[in-house]
Structure 1
Amino acid sequence: MKRALYLSILAITFIVLNIHPAFSQKTPYSYIEELDNLIRPDLLPSYRTGEYIEQISSYDRTGKNDDGFGGAYSFIRKEGNHLVIADFKGSGVVNRIWTPTPTDDTLSFYFDGEKEARLRIRFSDLFSGHVFPFVKGISGNEVGGYFTYLPIPYKKSLKIVFEGEKILFLQIQNRQIPDRKVESYTGNFSPIEKAKIEELSKIYTDMAPSANGFAKGKSAGIQAIEKTFVINPGEELDFYKANKGGRIVGLEVDAGTSFEGMEKDIIFSAKWDDEKVEAVYAPVADYFGYAYGKKAMRGLLMGSKGNLNYSYMPMPFDRSAELKMIYKKRGNLEQAPISIKTKVYYTDEARDKKNEGKFYAVWRREKPETGKYYEFLKTNGKGHYVGTIHLAQGLRPGMTLFFEGDDVTHIDGKQRLHGTGSEDYYNGGWYALLDRWDRGISLPIHGSLDYSLPMGRTGAYRFFMTDKMPFEKEIDHVIEHGPEGNEFPVDYTSIAMYYGAQPLPSKIEPTDELRQVYLPTVHEYFPQLMEVTLGVGAEVKQDRGLRMRSDGHHTVRVMLNDVPEGEYKLSISYFEKDNGAEFAIWQRQKLISDWKSSNAAQEKLNEKVAMGTIKITKQTNSITFHVRKLGEKGNEFELDRIFLEKIGD
């Protein structure tokens, strides 16, 4: 009898331990696995059930645009003379820290309620790449932003304290890990962990992506199939088909320069398991990160290198797969046949239905209404978000204020992330400033695709690897256009990438108009990004405007880059002031506007004064200011802005 009772108790205990999570032993958290998530795309399809990404940031809680300038929202509370900038409870890991304004003040990390900080480091050294384990690649700065993706795990809690007077813009991303046995960061790394950090640094700094380099785990043992074909307008041709489960590990496409240009008429289509709606249905140029007709993105997972376009996003499927190129025919344009060479890397490893999602890439192009967010992705079901490619075109000439807009993410009924500005979302900062967010720059998992003040546009990308955003029921991932109230008129294009359990319910058809690159007809040049060449003896200083100084007669040439060729009305804004000089405008050896005085007793900004007509070609895309001294003290001409307005079509 006692033996039977004992066996019954054992059986009940076994059932309780295996059915009820509260009584079961948690799976150990692996720091190696966390690091691997940054360099192994084969892990991207795997679900993270029960885990959520959340973010502390300095966004303005009032809905205005003070996202860090005053520092009002850059800390949680004060403790003595110090600022608590994060206070996480439960077990988790910090995946990302970003700022455009690091200082040399100390950051202290307090784990699990301890009174002594386990990690103390200068704020700036999080990003310098010189302090182990915050090594180059995993930490760094470019396009105006400073970032680190070094994982910082904590078992019970983590408090981060800034030991300085003021901290400005800030984002700290963490992931809750309630069902794993997490050990807190100690700063003591095993030889294997050190080697993994060094491997990660090398991969991120070398930036030599290849399918073979990512052939690990379920992506190991890859095979390849190549196909070369000519596609004509109106045709659609498949270049890969599978009638059993497997996964695509990589895709390489070479069409020379045929995907470049103002018309994005070649569509890439991918369909899994006979789903009614394509999992990917997007212009090839947008999918591979082209910007306004040119190759632009060169990331670790996707982009272009020379004529080769590549994507190493794993695409597992259950029963079948079909990849196609579709050449959309236009009625009003002569279109040439295009020769395309494709190479698909694949394995016979079918999707793990319980633990992996299928790959989906949602293409959108929209001019959102005033007051309405631009939507990257809104979907129901289970999955996780892994990437954004974004082209941002302003529809009003001038400063690119649309990029003040914050990203906002609601997951499973709760706001989990709220950013501080569009370039911040892409780990950048300070658009329109020299050597900050001022041009296209590619890094492994984020970057700027383009930046042009005269064209009023930019673009960016970001891949979410170890910081991928899981959702169990729904995700609503959007971004503002403009500083407040979504008021700036824009034309936005995006690819939103995620892994999910449910097929897409619908797609947007890329019509002729939606496949056409938008070209504005009014352009403004601002002093901070003007490309200037000085004639002999000329002096220039840029602060409020572009100040051209001359004690005689000197010349200053300004390049009018980016704008399309054509005939334009030229206007300028300039200051009249008591030391104003005389100026004239030439284009090469052609006089555009004869001598004018900028001298006046009272300072005044003369706005948008017509100067004449110029013709822009690749050889004549500049104007030259001739400046000469007027009287005793009139030795400076101060230019505010240059305006071009296209004449005709």
Structure 2
Amino acid sequence: MITFFTACGVDHHQEKELAYTDLVDRLMNMKSLAVLPKKGEKSAMWSSYDRDSKIDRAGNYIDWAANIDGLRPQYIRKEGENEVLAEMQGPGAIVRMWSASPKKGKVKIYIDDQEQPVIDESFIDYFKPSIPAFDFSELVYETNAKGFNNYVPITYNKSCKIVAEPGWGQYYQFNYITFPEGTKLEVFNPELADSHQKALSEVNSFFKQNMGESPYAEEGFKTTSKTVSLKPAEKKSVVLEGTGAIAELRIKIQHKTAKNFPELLRKTSISIKWDGSEESAVWSPLGDFFGTSPGWNEYQTLPMGMTKDWMYSYWYMPFEKGAELIFENEFQEPVNLQIEIKHEKLTDNIENYGRFHAKWHRDLKPLPKERWPDWRLLETEGRGRFLGTHLLVWNPKGGSCSLGGPGYYWWGEGDEKFFVDGETFPSTFGTGTEDYFGYAWCDPSEFERAFHSQTQDNDNMGYQPVNRWHIIDNIPFQQSFHGYLEKYFPNEWPTQYAAIVYWYLEPGGEDNLEEVAMNDRYGYEIPFEVFRKDSTRVVEGENMKIVSNSGGWGTTENFANEKLYNTVSGHKILLWFPQKDKENSLQAQFAWPQSGHYTIYANVVKTDKGGNFDLFLNQKKLGSLDLKSRDTLTTKKVLLGTINLKAGIQNLKIEANGEVVDHPQPIKLDYLEFEKK
């Protein structure tokens, strides 16, 4: 196993000189995270957020729900035809880049007032092995869920400016960290010195081959193993004495194959108290604490995960006067836990370290109306570091990306907004909830990487559990951290959030999150039954496969407008835009199980600006669709014709009929219905 630092070695974040390898070490140095930040340490982000959102001098929130991220001007300013995307003063380092749609236009990174850029590549190539510094597949990648990410540190001492040429793409985030004044950083070289190459390769290899294993060196640790058997309504503790730190916490649950296992994980809780405190610094339902819910979802990231048998945590948890881990069973049956704790004596000055906090909550006190749609994630006072969150979304209806008031967005539209040390405007202002978690375009696909994951795929219509860990990009604060996620859908939609937040806080800092009663943490989800047509009679548009497209954009993953949810089956449609001066033919395939002679109907969405389309099935023209309606938005079932079908794969072709204008209206096909003659 590869290891990168010893059990007692730690970077106290106060060195006046930092080698590039020191920055690479921070990609997985879990112990270093526990060190309280020095003055001058900062973390912030430039992004393509909608700049109509402002806070005026009087403290009023102006257009705070603005949501045209990436479509309004998404830059600081223009220099000729080029756009300045980010501008930082050093010493510091870019530690994360993200985009939903990087294109071929060049993006140039200038450091330390140099006339020539240190990197000059097409933006899409920032997420490929285009230069030696980006040739690390676990640090530079596109997730299964369409998000482009780059975690290779890029250092600078005086300044950094990121400039984009026309055609660079759409949507961006650049996370950066700033070091105390006077810190000197080794200059970044995209060709990589041998030592830099070696350091990045070792991290990349660990993430690729050893993910889920401990990132700590083995020497110096003591293992405490306990079997804790809990009767219903019983509570038991595991106690560690003296001054030390927990580095690994692993828990196995016997009989985890039970049908009601998700209930067990939510009704069994873990809490941790440090230094004899009466108050818990950690409290969470047991499963949620380990970064996924509901139930047992196997995944592996750097600090947290669930394997076939074990849940694991590698957060470093220092204490001065002992630690008490408390397990409580509010489940109706006995719960048996096998617990392994690796811990060490702490030889460094305990004053350097914060205490680990992790709290689960649902809906905290709502903010004033002018703050809509902000949803409280964490508000804490004191000195510490924000480490990230596990968010569980309950969203059974799905949701479109249409614009409007409450309830007219897909749940993932909400930006993250992080205010540090009393900022009047957030130094981190995101572009979308899914963007914060490292993916894009509403894609529900499962993925797991070192710093983020999505552990279930319910097609955006049910549970959506997502994680984001801030390791090298942790957010230090000296006085306070106030973090929010925008939540456009109200609970009654129903769209409901539950989150566990992780952070370090100095002893005596303010953690006002409390334990959550059973009725509010289990069975709180508002049920909803999605309208669906009989699957033996229809083929849903979203279940078709697009095999060719000579027109504009087409997808089978689009949600209909929410106003049509009582008449659009499954809430999703096949959506296709014809495009001016193109052939405009789309072909899709689907399977039909039974041969016969059928009358075929199409359920379509019609608008006051609808177009005309011809439909062909297996090369036979079925009929034409006139999608224009006096109503602004309606659905209609249209008779197409009759046809003989053989069981197997069927080929559907859609062609635009008539002139295609500059702003054509799409076809929105809900389903084809087959009535056997």
Matching residue of 1:107:
107
Find the counterpart in structure 1 of residue 157 from structure 2: 155
Q: Tell me the equivalent position of 1:555.
A: 592
1:389 match: 390
- Structure 1 segment 428-443 matched on structure 2, within 5 A: 428-431=439-442, 437-443=443-449
CA distance in 2, matches of 1:244, 1:131: 50
- Partner of residue 201, structure 1: 204
Alignment-mate amino acid for residue 592 of structure 2: T
Which residue does the alignment assign to 1:221? 220
Cross-structure match for 2:664: none
Q: CA deviation at 1:638?
A: 7.7
Q: Distance in 2 between matches of 1:340 and 1:487?
A: 37
Does the 8 Å contact 2:50/2:72 carry over to 1?
no
CA distance in 2, matches of 1:160, 1:275: 47
Measure the CA separation in 2 of the matches of 1:85 and 1:454.
31
Q: Who is 2:137 aligned against?
A: 136
Judge conservation of contact 2:605–2:636 (CA < 8 Å) in 1. no
Structure-2 change in CA distance of 1:244 and 1:147 (3 Å): same
Cα-to-partner distance string for 1:41-61 (whole Å, 9 max, x where unaligned):
122102231211111111002
Residues 82, 165 of structure 1: 8 Å contact kept:
no
Deviates more, 1:465-474 or 1:33-42: 33-42
Q: Distance in 1 between matches of 2:487 and 2:477?
A: 25
Structure 1 residues 602 and 357 mapped into 2: Cα distance closer, same or farther (>3 Å)? Answer: closer
1:56 to 46, 54, 61: 46
* CA distance, structure 1, for counterparts of residue 176 and residue 626 of structure 2: 59
Aligned to 1:469: 475
Alignment: residue pair count: 549
Partner SS, residue 124 of structure 1:
helix
Which residue does the alignment assign to 1:272? 274
**Unpaired stretches in structure 2, ≥5 consecutive residues:** 1-13, 54-64, 401-408, 534-538, 547-553, 559-572, 576-585, 595-601, 607-611, 645-651, 655-666, 673-677
Q: Is the 8 A contact 2:390 2:467 kept in 1?
A: yes
Write the mapping of 1:67-466 to structure 2, written as runs, cut at 5 A: 67-70=68-71, 72-73=73-74, 75-129=75-129, 131-134=131-134, 135-142=136-143, 143-177=145-179, 178-187=181-190, 189-211=192-214, 213-215=215-217, 220-238=219-237, 240-256=238-254, 257=256, 260-262=261-263, 264-329=266-331, 335-349=332-346, 352-366=349-363, 371=372, 373-394=374-395, 398-399=399-400, 401-414=410-423, 415-431=426-442, 437-453=443-459, 455-466=461-472
Instruction: Supply the distance in 1 between the matched residues of 2:640 and 2:349 (Cα, whole angstroms).
Output: 71
Q: What are the equivalent positions in structure 2 for 1:24-43 lying under 5 Å apart?
A: 27-43=16-32
TM-score (norm 2): 0.73
**Aligned: 1:44 with 2:33:** yes
Deviations 1:179-214 (A, max 9, x none): 412243233544322211100111122243223x42
Query: What is the distance in 1 between the residues matched to 2:76 and 2:591?
Result: 55
Q: Which amino acid aligns with 2:429?
A: H
1:464-513 C-alpha deviation (Å, 9 max, x unpaired): 11111000001101111028x99976321111111110355444322222
Equivalent in the alignment of 1:618: none
CA distance in 2, matches of 1:420, 1:541: 22
Q: Secondary structure of 1:197's partner?
A: helix
The residue type equivalent to 2:422 in the other structure is G
Query: Residues 600 and 179 (structure 1 numbering): CA distance in 2 closer, same or farther, change over 3 Å?
Result: closer
Greater gyration radius: 1
Residue 246 and residue 181 in structure 1: after superposition, are their counterparts in 2 closer, same or farther (change >3 A)? same
Alignment check: 8 A CA contact 1:428 1:447 kept: no
Instruction: Provide the rounded CA distance (Å) in 2 between the counterparts of 1:635 and 1:467.
Output: 48
Structure 1 71/161 Cα, relative in aligned 2: closer, same or farther at 3 Å? Answer: same
List per-residue Cα deviations over 1:292-347 (Å, max 9, x = no partner). Answer: 33425421210101121111111110011011211015xxxxx2212221111111
Distance 1:533 1:628, change over 3 A: farther
Distance in 2 (CA, whole Å) between partners of 1:471 and 1:463 is 17
How much identity, in percent, do the aligned residues show?
A: 23
Q: Match for residue 619 of structure 1?
A: none
Letter in 2 for 1:443: R
Cα shift at 1:166:
4.8
RMSD: 3.8
